[in-house]
Amino acid sequence: MTKYTIASKCLDRAAKVLDSATKNHDLQNVIGLVSSSKETLLSHASGASFEDSTVKINSNSIFAIASMTKLVTTIAALQLVENNQIGLLDEIESYIPELKNLNILQSIDQGGHANYLKPERSPLIKELITHTSGYAYSMWNEKIFISDNLKITSSNIDYLETPLTFEPGTRWEYGIGIDILGILIERVTNLPLEEYFIKNIFFPLSMNDTSFSIEEGKRDRVLSMMKRDSKGLIKSDLFQPEFNNLDSPMVHGGGGLYSTVIDFAQLLRTLLNQGSFNEHQILLPETVSQMFINQINSYQLRPHISQMPDLTKNLDLTFGKEAEWGLGFMIHPKGTKNGRSPGSASWAGFFNTYFWLDPLQDIFGIFSTQVLPFLDPVTFNTFQEFERAIYGVEQ
């Protein structure tokens, strides 16, 4: 590990990127955090609450982190692997018997009839983690999108009834596999998923503001969801934080957590410290090392074409560079044009929250806002400008 010294002018430039985005009304609000394994180097919040412009956001503001939840679920599964409760190469039907009847959706004919094929085998736990299981998302997969619209499937609700779209272990496609993994964790531990997270991840890492539901005393810290239309930013009518879900919050392995940049930084800092935080070792160093190694052979992380443009743009976070998938996130074996070193890792959340880890330089970054659609070009360009500023890379 090489200690990367970020010049103060780079940190100042990064803060100005965020301030410029809110001043120009490109974003309602945004927070950027950059840290080493030992200390926070920059934590800068810009903008205000949509409801009250006099209420400025800060590093304790609460965001819906969506698919950044997947990293937490993956860490939980890897803990079970370390404890010999599950194996990465175990077939998932061994733990979820309902999946013994799992099929592959081959096609849907003009009459709306679905044609299925029995897979050669059940997906493996590792394939759930690495998105090579055969599961897909309807928002980026045409077959599942059509199937959901025809009420053949309901992939966003009935995960255990959702078919595969290809033979397990034959290619990469981003999908609901981590949601299935969350169910598997509950079956193995006999604990609700959030209870397992609290006991084994959130409490040891002092992630006190991370949860699937929002306590009444914290609701004034939760940011509203915005969306960008032809006229600019408006309050989203597609999604808003749930305040009436304390009895039945949306708990999924693949999404649903609320958090702060401070809390999520604790998780990323732990990974840079080889799984250790203070006196707590939540993962073994050798497990953390495996997370940063390609786990999908030579399968390509091909772009996914959006089926729901109001919700998401085409999915492609490779920055035009070679990309792989480890255990929990995407890997750039040769780095990126924005400054990341070879072997860096990253991923994102559906509401335009992003993170990256650069073990070689001993830094990580978080960029967090709340706006739809996912990968909105204005927001994504701001994120890239922020990252380039940190690394001192000119556009």
Residue 364 lies in a domain: yes
Q: What is the pLDDT of residues 131-188, one digit of tens each?
A: 999 999 999 999 999 999 988 887 777 899 999 999 999 999 999 999 999 999 999 9
Mean pLDDT, the chain cut into blocks of 10 residues (395 residues total)? 77 98 97 98 96 92 98 99 99 98 94 94 99 98 93 83 97 98 98 98 98 91 93 88 63 96 99 96 99 96 95 92 95 96 98 98 98 97 98 90
Residue 97 lies in a domain: no
Contact (CB, 8 A) for 354 and 366:
yes
Q: What is the pLDDT of residue 112?
A: 87
User: Beta-carbon neighbour count of residue 87 at 10 Å?
Assistant: 13
What is the span of the domain harbouring residue 356? Answer: 8-68+226-391
Residue 272 lies in a domain: yes
Q: What is the pLDDT of residue 248?
A: 58
Residue 44 lies in a domain: yes
Q: What is the pLDDT of residue 267?
A: 99
Which residue blocks in 273-347 are alpha helix, DSSP H?
A: 285-291
Residue 198 lies in a domain: no
CATH of the domain at 295: 3.40.710.10
d(CA 341, CA 270): 19
Neighbouring residues of 161: CB distance < 8 A, sequence distance ≥ 6: 153, 154
Torsion of CA 367, 226, 180, 348, to 10 degrees: -20
Residue 74 lies in a domain: no
The number of angstroms, rounded, from the C-alpha of 393 to the middle of its chain's C-alpha atoms is: 25
The number of angstroms, rounded, from the C-alpha of 199 to the middle of its chain's C-alpha atoms is: 21
Number of structural domains the chain divides into: 1
| Nearest alpha carbon to residue 181 among 325, 294, 328 | 328
Residue 215 lies in a domain: no
Q: What is the pLDDT of residues 337-387, one digit of tens each?
A: 999 999 999 999 999 999 999 999 999 999 999 999 999 999 999 999 999
